[in-house]
Structure 1
């Protein structure tokens, strides 16, 4: 199935409720004030900050937001989307990565984009950010990144998400740049294979070490932020690690090591469970629709 032409169907994008946007704005201001009060480090040109994306910068998993946008444009059908939604609900409920889900998403994404152009996916990533990610940026983490920028430090995203979506997030937030998983392409067309492997776990630390050397940074003066125990190689590399919205294992490790922990989910458990429940309902609806379609076609 090929994606629908952009002009062939009018899409309606529902903006976040005004109260939601107001709440986010207020949280951003409060978080910014908290950060500026508690985190005062002199400007240092040899310092930089590295941020994970999923559940650190963005609520949920960015690749599933991308999958939703691809589904809406006809890249794949309801059955595949039902699986993606189910994994997103799991992520929102547990607040942690599942290696099997990540691998499945990688395989599915590569098969879907094979034969499509880089320009096509880059354009889609921009649209996906506007439609489903912009209002899911954690205000507190955004304030942390801005503080590093205000001190004259460079800020990079380091994520297993596709580089196309990582670059959009970095650009929209005014960050220095991004490192992400790279899909192979020849003459601007995706082959369905990766260049190397996912930028995940130890691979993140390898990428940051290389960047530190290329940019002349002092790794002991650098900072890193993540929610996942899988990112211990990156967090342990820098002089100033910080756990943000941490999973259980990372929280325990951070507390043992005396690392700062910032959890912007505190006080929102009921709200998060409500969103997850709504997502679960949506996944069931999509799955039911896919089953009905198959029955009609039989």
Structure 2
């Protein structure tokens, strides 16, 4: 039985594990075909506000909308279903599952090749100039030390892979949308690669690649990623939210902030507003995310 054929009625832990397994299985390792000089150590980087300024899925969604990949009506319909099910059916697992899948229904019939090609274009026009130089330099340090570097994000694996490839990283793990013969079905494999699912993905990849997590590093801006950060021997908070900053300081973790003082001070409020008002509504329809829109 493949991951795409597993039963849909899974609890959160099972969905997280399935999402992590799917992400690890889909990880692009083309640039890692040569044996690294330090094969048991690696680094894992979150994307949004860690590698890139802002939400990658927002830029992808906007670019896809401009190319008429989907309509405004489809965005609003998907967003409405998210709101309805979160308010009315939040305690009902069946409603949650329906909300998660309904947001993806309209991508059914689009091909993986189509989305990947469009993502390449959108990266060049809207994302390349938003990469944080400081975080990019940290990733390069790991590469220079002979270690492999993976992105780990709740954004779709398609966009995560493009970003990793353009930055010369080893590969990426992201949310996996179910597809059959290269055509999307409109459902997720497991769940979003978010929170606990990221930790599951890292553990699965470490087992596959023979990594020693005690020698690995992880980087993120969000307290949602504490499960992943806590897995490794060298966690680092990048442009952290308030909770992550406090946790990092309390535990002696490294902290790096590449924002200006003003941006950093407003980050929590502005980030929440953007995620809730703009990214959330648009991403509901195109991002391959299935319910609320947590930062990746």
State the TM-score, normalizing by the size of structure 2: 0.67
Residue among 69, 79, 89 paired with 1:75: 69
Residue among 61, 65, 85 paired with 2:59: 65
Would you say the 8 A contact 1:71–1:81 is kept in 2? no
Deviation track 1:120-149 (CA, whole Å, cap 9, x = no partner) reads 000011011011000000111000001100
Would you say the 8 A contact 2:149–2:170 is kept in 1? yes
In the alignment, structure 1 residue 222 sits paired with structure 2 residue 185: no
Larger radius of gyration: 1
Alignment partner, residue 181 of structure 2 = 187
Q: What is the aligned-residue RMSD (CA, Å)? A: 3.1
**How many Å apart are 1:77 and its aligned residue?**
3.2
Would you say the 8 A contact 2:101–2:187 is kept in 1? no
Alignment partner, residue 204 of structure 2 = 210
Cα distance in 1 for partners of 2:52, 2:105 equals 25
Note closer, same or farther for the CA distance 1:68–1:262 as it changes in structure 2 (3 Å cut).
same
Cα distance in 1 for partners of 2:144, 2:210 equals 20
Deviation track 1:34-78 (CA, whole Å, cap 9, x = no partner) reads xxxxxxxxx743110000011111111111111101110112334
Cα distance in 2 for partners of 1:112, 1:61 equals 22
**How many Å apart are 1:112 and its aligned residue?**
3.6
Alignment partner, residue 113 of structure 2 = 119
Cα distance in 2 for partners of 1:193, 1:151 equals 39
Residue among 122, 131, 140 paired with 2:134: 140
Gaps of 5+ in 2: 1-36, 79-96, 279-296
Matching of residues 19-168 of structure 1 within 5 Å = 44-78=38-72, 110-168=104-162
Note closer, same or farther for the CA distance 1:153–1:186 as it changes in structure 2 (3 Å cut).
same
- The total of aligned residue pairs comes to 221
Further displaced range: 170-179 or 105-114:
105-114
Cα distance in 1 for partners of 2:167, 2:125 equals 15
Alignment partner, residue 263 of structure 1 = 257
Alignment partner, residue 201 of structure 1 = 195
Cα distance in 1 for partners of 2:221, 2:190 equals 24
Residue among 225, 239, 248 paired with 1:245: 239
**How many Å apart are 1:108 and its aligned residue?**
7.4
Gaps of 5+ in 1: 1-42, 85-102, 285-298
Alignment partner, residue 172 of structure 2 = 178
* Equivalent position SS for 1:193: strand
